[in-house]
Each structure stands twice: as structure tokens, then as C-alpha cells.
Amino acid sequence: MPPRAAPSERQKRLGAELRKMRLAARASTEYAAGLLGVDRAKISNMESGVRIITPDRLRTLAISYACTNDDYVDALVAMAEDKERGWWEEYRGILPAGMLDVAELEWHAARVRTVQVVHLPALLQIEDYARGIFNATVPKLSPLRVEQGIAHRMARQKIFDRPDPVPYLAYIHEAALRMRFGGPQATRQQLTRLAERSEQDGVDVRIIPTTVSDFPGAGHAMLYADGPVPPLDTVQLDSAIGPVFTAADDQLAKYRTHLDWMDKAALSPAASRDLILTVACEI
């Protein structure tokens, strides 16, 4: 099979885990190539996500690298076996690849937790509110590109409607409730929808009130996607140039600490819902 021209973030992550296993075993690319009967370049391409690896070859490497975490290896094999075309592929070549990578990350997550300070969570947005956000970008997007972005954002919410909904927890600063993207009417409708969504099974919305004096980190938006096993967790951060993904152990530990702080500082689900509806009435 020919190499991929542009591997997705998930495909690159599988390759990175292969490399991590090899380095942990202190094995060379020559050694790995000899195990699989291929040249070194193909090992490098597998480890960068450019070339696919079959489940059998993955298990061969894991055994030879003496990886004893069976759950971890099984999760990697499942990633290698996954050939299903995700709904987000409909937007390939239309929207930036990073937007598709976020959708794929959410779809395959065992749980999603997010922290939002300015915007309400994308997975809980209504169209008019999302339109206000897309219209506030620099440089300004074309009307067609705005509508394509909104359609993709609404499609991401499929994770709540499938037979096995992804558990979702959103920590939202009170300041985000008061931002009027799309105008007052759209914001009121958005807050009402947010309150309704918070009562849905598997959806937990917690508000961090402005009375809380401290806030960890740089105050940027963050998504923490639990993998099928902890070593496959991923953090996605928003930036002006698109989503940034990290899976380094020290970074994951830092953001788990951030989430623990949020959990202690945020209002209860019921109190959060009351505050959301109170702000909606004030607009």
C-alpha cells in the first residue's frame, strides 16, 4: 500500500507509540526492520504515521520489544485495525486538517473533558452562536467557509447521539456565559440550550464562578481526551494557528492536575445550571 500523503493526528499518534516502544526497548530501526523483513525507511515511515502497519506486524514488534502491557498493545492493535471512514472525512480538503483531527479525537475518546474560558464548548453550541464565533476570526472567513465550519461543528455533536455516547464533562468559566457571540438573542438561546444539555445523561456542565480568585495555567481552552488506556490519553489546546496536540507524560500529568483544580473550584451541576439560566435572564 502506498504511503499516506498527510497522515491524521490519530495515525501519527499510532506511529509515535511504535517509536516509543522501540526506544523503551533500546532497539534500533535496523533491528525493527529485520524483524519485519523491510528496509529502515519503512520503519521510519511507520513511526511517523506515513505508512500503515498491520496488526500482526504490530504484535511482532511489541513482543520483540518485550512490552508487557497487554491492554496497551491491544489498544494499539485496535487503532491499526480501524479502517472505517469517519464522517469527518467528508470535510477533507474543505476544512483545515486540524479541525478533522479534533473530531476524530473526540469520536474515539473513552471520555472527553474540556475547559473553556471565553467560548462555550463547541460540542454544546447552537448554530447561531457558532456563527458568531466563526464570523469573529482573523482573517475574516468567507460566508461559505463559515457555513462549512458550522456544519462540521454541529456534526461533531453526533458523539452524544450514537448508541454508546461519549461521556462529556465541561468546565466553563462564568465569563464565557456572558460573552454575546451572535448577539443577545443567540446568546440567550445558547444558554438555554446549554442548561438543557446539562440535564442529558452523560453530559456534565460545571461553572467556575467569577468569585473564584485563582485560575491555573494560561487561561486557554483545553480538551482532555481519555484514551482506551491511560498511556493513550491526549490533550488538545486551541491556538491562533489551529489545534495543538500533546501526549507527553509530563504534559498529561500537568493538565490532569488542572482538571482536578477545576473540579474542586467549580459549582455543582445543579448550581451551575441555575447560574446559566440566571445569566440568560440578565441578557
Does residue 74 sit within a domain?
yes
Does residue 1 sit within a domain?
no
Does residue 115 sit within a domain?
yes
220 touches 117 (CB < 8 A): yes
Give the Å distances, CA to CA, from 12 to 144, 245, 274: 30, 11, 42
For residues 164 and 256, membership in a common domain is answered with: yes
3: pLDDT strictly greater than 70: no
Cα 91 to chain centroid distance, Å, stands at 17
4: pLDDT strictly greater than 90: no
Residue 145: the pLDDT is 98
Percent of the chain with pLDDT over 90: 92
134: pLDDT strictly greater than 70: yes
For residues 148 and 104, membership in a common domain is answered with: yes
For residues 18 and 68, membership in a common domain is answered with: yes
- pLDDT tens digit string along 146-180? 999 999 999 999 999 999 999 999 999 999 999 99
2: pLDDT strictly greater than 80: no
- pLDDT tens digit string along 18-67? 999 999 999 999 999 999 999 999 999 999 999 999 999 999 999 999 99
The pTM assigned to this predicted structure is: 0.94
For residues 219 and 93, membership in a common domain is answered with: yes
Half-sphere exposure of 248 (CA within 13 A, CB side): 5
Alpha-carbon distance 12 to 46, whole Å?
A: 9
Q: Minimal CA–CA distance to 250: which of 266, 274, 233?
A: 233
- pLDDT tens digit string along 70-128? 999 999 999 999 988 999 999 999 999 999 999 999 999 999 999 999 999 999 999 99
Does residue 34 sit within a domain?
yes
What is the domain count for the chain? 2
Beta strand 222-226 with 203-208: parallel, antiparallel or unpaired? unpaired
Of 46, 81, 116, the last residue of a domain is 81
**Burial (CB count within 10 angstroms: exposed 0-12, middle 13-18, buried 19+), residue 152:** buried
Residue 212: the pLDDT is 92
Alpha-carbon distance 228 to 78, whole Å?
A: 10
**Residue 247 amino acid letter:** A
1: pLDDT strictly greater than 70: no
- pLDDT tens digit string along 177-222? 999 999 999 999 999 999 999 999 999 999 999 999 888 776 789 9
Query: Which domain does 52 fall in, by range?
Result: 9-81
For residues 195 and 71, membership in a common domain is answered with: no
For residue 190, give the C-alpha cell: 445558547
Mean pLDDT of the residues in the chain = 95
Of 81, 102, 125, the last residue of a domain is 81
Does residue 208 sit within a domain?
yes
For residues 76 and 102, membership in a common domain is answered with: no
For residues 72 and 97, membership in a common domain is answered with: no
**Which phi-psi region, left, alpha or beta, contains residue 236 (left: φ > 0; alpha: ψ -120 to 50)?**
beta
Q: What's the CA dihedral at 78, 79, 82, 84 to 10 degrees?
A: 140
Task: Return the DSSP state at 120.
Answer: P
Does residue 216 sit within a domain?
yes
Q: Is 172 helix (H, G, I), strand (E, B) or coil?
A: strand
171 touches 206 (CB < 8 A): yes
Of 81, 105, 130, the last residue of a domain is 81
For residues 200 and 119, membership in a common domain is answered with: yes
For residues 174 and 241, membership in a common domain is answered with: yes
For residues 155 and 197, membership in a common domain is answered with: yes
**CATH number of the domain within which 265 lies:** 3.30.870
Does residue 234 sit within a domain?
yes
Does residue 3 sit within a domain?
no
Grid cell 496497551 is found at 72
**CATH number of the domain within which 39 lies:** 1.10.260.40
For residues 25 and 73, membership in a common domain is answered with: yes
For residues 61 and 92, membership in a common domain is answered with: no
